[in-house]
Amino acid sequence: MTRRPLRGPRPEPLLGKPERPVFSRGTILDNGLIGQKTQNRRSLEGARDVPDPRATEDDLYALNSLQLHRSWALEGLSVQIPMEYLRDKLPPACRKMVGIATVGPLYVFNCDERDLERRMGKMFGTWREFWNVFRKTEFVFWPIEAEKGYFVTAIFHMEKAMIDDPDFDPDADPDAVIPQVESRDFTLIGTWSVVDGQRGDAGRKRLRRVRERVELIFAAHGLRFGEGSFMVHRGANGEEWNEPWVPPHDDDEAWSTGIRSFAIVRQMIQRVLDLYCYQGEYDDNLFAEPCCGWLNVDQVRHEMMGICAAKVMEDMKWNARLAVECIQEITTVEGFPPFKANLLAPNDNNKKAYVAESDVAGVPRLSPP
């Protein structure tokens, strides 16, 4: 008589296709120990409470982009999603004051002048969602990809213009002066700026190009700029920079500009939140004050990764949790060979702290001993 085996054959994993994947539980860092999850014959696809993970596509893509090579430039989605999360977590009344505009595309901001008008019309012509951000919110922050992987940040304080009272009946009293009332939507740009941490001619040329194209786009859609609305600081030594002052970066750190754009917007949103909490009134110094002179891009990148991971859990209706995957290599996309995962390790080069005014002359006055 043949003795039956104590254990049957191990179930083989179900195989799916790229267009119809099969989702299953895997090995994760479980309660502090690396161990294999117990076999569960119930398919995740049959669990009513677990949404299809394809619902997380954008947030997972942004998270994976932030987890690739430390010094790779970000893409628009990886910048956009963490910024919108900051806005979404504000108190409801404050959230209505803040808008995050969809990343300005290379398609418009780094094209030839001869093709600019056609591209502007094609991109922004009927984009109601984009224009509602500016017409319905007082403070708007707009990350713009001015060159491939290179982001600058536009900052706006919107105002409501005075217009003729639409309810005034001129036939009632022909001699009456038409009363002025505040417009329902924001139509006037009170103060605004485009900022970037690169110094020198290349940085100034890039900012000038972005500024000119923003002005053209807005003028074509009925948004007017107030006189002297652009925030420029002119120092006693003749130097100029767009306000608010932001920490500088070297040319070989251009990959960090998406991370820096998030850091700038985070500080600006905090200023708006302080204004709301203390029930203050807006004045131009709200955005004109320099940003913090200390910036650790790795810490900011890790914060952005955490936000994207939390967004994935939200997409899954909290039927998911964070896990740690132990790897030696990172595989990216077809055509790029795998590389060692330790290239994600932070670089020990974030040591300088600046005083804004002193850095205009290129002299960081504050640094660790």
The pair of structure tokens assigned to 339 is 């590389």
Domain annotation covers residue 214? yes
Q: Which of 312, 297, 291 is nearest to 141 (CA)?
A: 291
Task: Give the pLDDT band of residue 352 (cuts 50, 70, 90).
Answer: confident
The answer to whether residue 50 sits within a structural domain is: no
More confident residue, 66 or 352: 66
Task: Name the E strands within the chain.
Answer: 28-30, 33-35, 98-100, 139-147, 150-159, 162-164, 180-182, 188-195, 224-225, 232-234, 240-242, 329-330, 339-340
- DSSP assignment of 152-202 equals EEEEEEEEPPEEE-TT--TTT-TTSPPPEEE-SS--EEEEEEEE-S--SHH
Q: Give the pLDDT confidence of 194-228 residue by residue, as tens digits.
A: 999 998 888 999 999 999 999 999 998 889 998 88
Domain assignment present for residue 29? The answer is no
Q: Give me the pLDDT at residue 290, please.
A: 92
Whichever domain contains 253, its CATH number is 3.40.395.10
- pLDDT greater at residue 208 or residue 356: 208
Q: Are 136 and 244 in contact (CB under 8 A)?
A: no
pLDDT value, residue 257: 96
Considering the domain boundaries, does residue 10 fall inside one? no
pLDDT, one tens digit per residue, over 277-302 is: 999 999 988 999 999 999 999 999 99
Quick one: pLDDT at residue 349? Answer: 62
CA nearest 153: which of 101, 200, 199?
101
Q: How many residues would you count in the chain?
A: 369
**Domains of the chain: total:** 1
Selection from 289, 288, 271 nearest residue 280 by Cα: 271
Say if 232 falls within a structural domain.
yes
> Does the structure show a pLDDT above 70 at 33?
no
Query: pLDDT per residue over 51-74, tens digit each?
Result: 777 788 899 999 988 988 888 899
**Range of 168-182, 265-279, 351-365 with top mean pLDDT:** 265-279
Distance CA 354, CA 223 (A): 36
**Residue with more model confidence, 166 or 218:** 218
Q: State the pLDDT at residue 55.
A: 80
Residue 244 has pLDDT above 60, yes or no: yes
Structural domain boundaries, residue 332: 56-166+179-359
For residue 256, being part of any structural domain is answered with: yes
Percent of the residues in the chain that have a pLDDT greater than 90, as a whole number: 48
Work out the average pLDDT over 263-283: 95
Give domain status of residue 16, yes or no. no
Q: Is residue 207 part of a domain?
A: yes
Instruction: Please check whether residue 225 is in contact with residue 215, taking contact to mean a CB–CB distance below 8 angstroms.
Output: yes
- pLDDT in the model for residue 6: 45
